[in-house]
A and B are shown apart, each in its own frame.
Chain A
Amino acid sequence: MSDIYHIVVCAGIVPDPLQTLEPIITPTGPALKNEMMLPAVLDPWASHALYEAANLAAHFPGSKLWLVSGAPKAKLQQVMMNVAQKASFELVPLDIAANGFSDAHAIAKTLADAVQFIPGLERSRLMIFGGRESASRGAGVTMQLVGEQLGIIDQFQGVDLLTVQSDGSFEILERIEGGRHLASICKGPPVLLGWATGRLPEPKNNPQVGMANMRSVMPALQKAKPATLAQNVSYANVAPPKQHRQTRVVKDHSADEIASELAEWITRG
């Protein structure tokens, strides 16, 4: 088997982290106030997965990269204007009203179904990438559920490094407790990797790549059919945390005084 990979990156979109989030209850369940108005970004950990996938595909000529992303079509189009400049991919859009309160099981089923219908995808070359968890649900289960539905039993989560060995096997480093990595050797595809931050920086925007991507992204978005998500989880209460501290602001103290106060605080109790 030559080293050609069919890489599918699963990624949702989330509100820009700088936005203030206010949960509200709607007839269909919890949501965020003005959710459709909030600026959105590709999910951060999934973004790392995309950068790693693009890098891998670039190093193994003939490899293909798909980005499967589920969100309301308008939001997806907005986010793709930026993401499309980061890496070359073929978009598989899913027009779904997904947010942080959507059920991960329903999202996973939609993603798995979409992957199965990608034309030309070869299981013997298949690598499913995604973020270890999202910045919205933060469930950390979606990718495993996708993998299980696709029958992939070599799964890795919190991945920071994938190295293709000379014999075609993969060395994979996964984050574990205590700031350490679990190292594993996997014989090869099919595999599923839920990425942590990886080792690659965010690529600079490349307008030429963006233009090339958008030629296929826009028609794909236009063809995307709206789908509904089953909601298997019920919410009894949704609220922002009530943690507001009375901050004591210490001004005009010397460095010696502050150091002394901190030393006493650190060593106390």
Chain B
Amino acid sequence: MPAGEFMVQNILFLAHVDESGKGMPRVALEVITAAQDAARLASASLVIGIVGGEISDAADSVARIGAPIVGVCGADFAHPRYATDAAALEAICRAVGSDIVIAPATSRFLRVIPGVAQGLGGQVDTHITSLEFGDGAVSAKRWFYKQRVEAVIHRDSRPWFLLVDPGGYERWSGEAGTARVEGLDVQLPAETKRTTFAGVRVPATDAQTIRPDAKLLFVAGAGWCKRQSDGTAHVPEAEAAILDFLQTSGASLGGSKSLVDQSGENQSVLRFMTHLNQVRQTGSTPRHPKGLSTCCHGEEPHVVGWRFINERRAINLDPNCGWARGKADVLYVADAFQVIPKLNALLNKK
């Protein structure tokens, strides 16, 4: 039998309840589409596993898919915690016995599923962008070297856990139904509760500047804090222009590494810019339909974080910057300090 080829009996889709406790995270509803496709292409049955404090609403939301639902619920599973999440997921996996387990790449699952795979003697891959099932073989596409190399991989070991990133599949949007959930009783030893949930913290910034659902990503580069043509830096003006733009456009804010790092080098900095805003190398890879870069040179380490930005425009004083070399759709050779306030005025009128 060729590598990666096998007979799939059933495919397990894992999800957890979202923070509202009444549904699933958006990415889970996208990845459940991937799991449905996979089951259809592999002629396998789909089983859904859910973990959370109260899972009936989440189960009802996907009941019309028609797949059997297995769940673990209770106060101990209401919040993310490695040890208890691992126990719950392991119980579901053992009960279902699937060779292929598909799950959304949420922070909760990225933390725990590798350990579950290890515990079950399986293997795991994350940041999957697409799954392919053909002629009994399963393969997965993912990125390496920070979105600079793309590869199709497969493994012979089973169970194979695949955590799928958001943005690759249409969101499942069927009507809610009434689910019949097979509940599993998971006994938790005391040592699994050494960690306790202490809340969710929003960064102390002037405003919440990270908006995953925004249509536009606005990236500020280090140029905003550099000396301008008059020989001085204009950081307060930069802050005002950027915050005004975020408010009027509804954009999400990203920052280049060089700008974010300035805060650690005792230079003038944008007070609302933190490492959480950073777009690759050691930052995020956000997904937005449009992206506007300002005062950033568009060199490779910055642009790898733009892999999933569809329409890209940039404002930079250097016509030979990285954006001009096939990285942006449009490069405006201009001073962002002049353009952005005028843009804000226009957006305020609309």
A and B associate? yes
Residues of A within 8 A of B (CB): 14-15, 17-18, 20-21, 23, 30, 32, 44-45, 48, 100-101, 105, 108, 135-141, 144-145, 147-149, 153-158, 160, 171, 173-187, 196-197, 200-202, 232-241, 243-253, 255-256, 258-260, 262-263, 265-267, 269
Q: Flag if B347 contacts A266 (CB, 8 Å).
A: yes
Query: In the complex, which range does the number of interface residues on chain B fall in?
Result: 35 or more
Q: Flag if B332 contacts A253 (CB, 8 Å).
A: yes
**CB of A157 to closest CB in B, whole Å:** 4
Q: How far is the CA of A17 from the CA of B265 in the complex (A)?
A: 20
Q: Name the CB-closest residue of B to A194.
A: B111
Chain B residues contacting A238 (CB-CB under 8 Å) are: 144, 149-151
Q: Name the CB-closest residue of A to B274.
A: A179
Contact flags B33-67 to A (C-beta < 8 A → 1, else 0): 00000000000000000000000000000000000
Chain A residues contacting B197 (CB-CB under 8 Å) are: 182-184
Chain A residues contacting B167 (CB-CB under 8 Å) are: none
Chain B residues contacting A15 (CB-CB under 8 Å) are: 145
Q: Flag if B150 contacts A241 (CB, 8 Å).
A: yes
Q: How far is the CA of A258 from the CA of B149 in the complex (A)?
A: 34
Contact flags B111-133 to A (C-beta < 8 A → 1, else 0): 11011011100011111000000
Residues of B within 8 A of A (CB): 3-4, 25, 80-83, 86, 106-108, 110-112, 114-115, 117-119, 123-127, 139, 143-157, 191-192, 194-203, 208-212, 216, 249, 261, 263-265, 275-278, 281-283, 289-290, 292, 299-301, 307, 311-313, 315, 319, 323-335, 338-340, 342-343, 345-347, 350
Closest 7 CB pairs of A and B: A201-B264, A179-B210, A141-B114, A144-B114, A259-B342, A197-B275, A263-B346
Q: Flag if B115 contacts A145 (CB, 8 Å).
A: yes
Q: Name the CB-closest residue of B to A264.
A: B346
**CB of B200 to closest CB in A, whole Å:** 6
Chain A residues contacting B153 (CB-CB under 8 Å) are: 233-236
Q: Name the CB-closest residue of A to B4.
A: A234
Q: Flag if B107 contacts A241 (CB, 8 Å).
A: no
Q: Flag if B114 contacts A18 (CB, 8 Å).
A: no
17 new A-B contacts, CB < 8 A, other than A21-B145, A187-B195, A248-B331, are A17-B301, A144-B114, A153-B82, A157-B110, A178-B212, A180-B201, A180-B203, A202-B264, A236-B152, A247-B324, A249-B319, A251-B319, A262-B292, A262-B332, A262-B343, A263-B350, A267-B347
Knowing A140-B127, A155-B82, A157-B110, the reply to whether A232 touches B155 (Cβ < 8 A) is yes
Q: Flag if A138 contacts B127 (CB, 8 Å).
A: yes
Query: CB < 8 Å: which of A232, A233, A258 contacts B339?
Result: A258
Q: Flag if B82 contacts A260 (CB, 8 Å).
A: no
Knowing A184-B198, A239-B150, A249-B331, the reply to whether A153 touches B191 (Cβ < 8 A) is yes
Q: Could you say which of A160, A174, A184 has the most chain B C-beta atoms within 10 Å of its C-beta? A: A184
Q: Could you say which of A15, A30, A154, A232 has the most chain B C-beta atoms within 10 Å of its C-beta? A: A154
Q: Name the CB-closest residue of B to A22.
A: B149
Q: How far is the CA of A44 from the CA of B328 in the complex (A)?
A: 26
Query: CB < 8 Å: which of A14, A18, A149, A269 contacts B300?
Result: A18
Chain B residues contacting A246 (CB-CB under 8 Å) are: 326, 329
Q: Flag if B282 contacts A182 (CB, 8 Å).
A: no
Q: Flag if A154 contacts B83 (CB, 8 Å).
A: yes
Q: Flag if A247 contacts B114 (CB, 8 Å).
A: no
Chain A residues contacting B194 (CB-CB under 8 Å) are: 153-154, 186-187
Q: How far is the CA of A32 from the CA of B151 in the complex (A)?
A: 13
Query: CB < 8 Å: which of A177, A200, A232 contacts B107?
Result: A177
Q: Flag if A184 contacts B81 (CB, 8 Å).
A: yes
Q: Flag if B145 contacts A135 (CB, 8 Å).
A: yes
Q: How far is the CA of A15 from the CA of B145 in the complex (A)?
A: 9
Query: CB < 8 Å: which of B108, B111, B123, B149 contacts A21?
Result: B149
Chain B residues contacting A101 (CB-CB under 8 Å) are: 144, 151
Knowing A157-B110, A184-B197, A201-B264, the reply to whether A247 touches B328 (Cβ < 8 A) is yes
Chain B residues contacting A265 (CB-CB under 8 Å) are: 290, 311, 313
CB<8 Å pairs between A and B, sample of 26? A17-B146, A21-B148, A44-B281, A100-B149, A141-B125, A145-B117, A177-B106, A178-B211, A182-B107, A184-B195, A185-B196, A201-B263, A233-B125, A233-B154, A234-B156, A237-B150, A239-B151, A241-B149, A243-B307, A249-B330, A253-B332, A255-B334, A259-B346, A262-B332, A263-B343, A266-B290
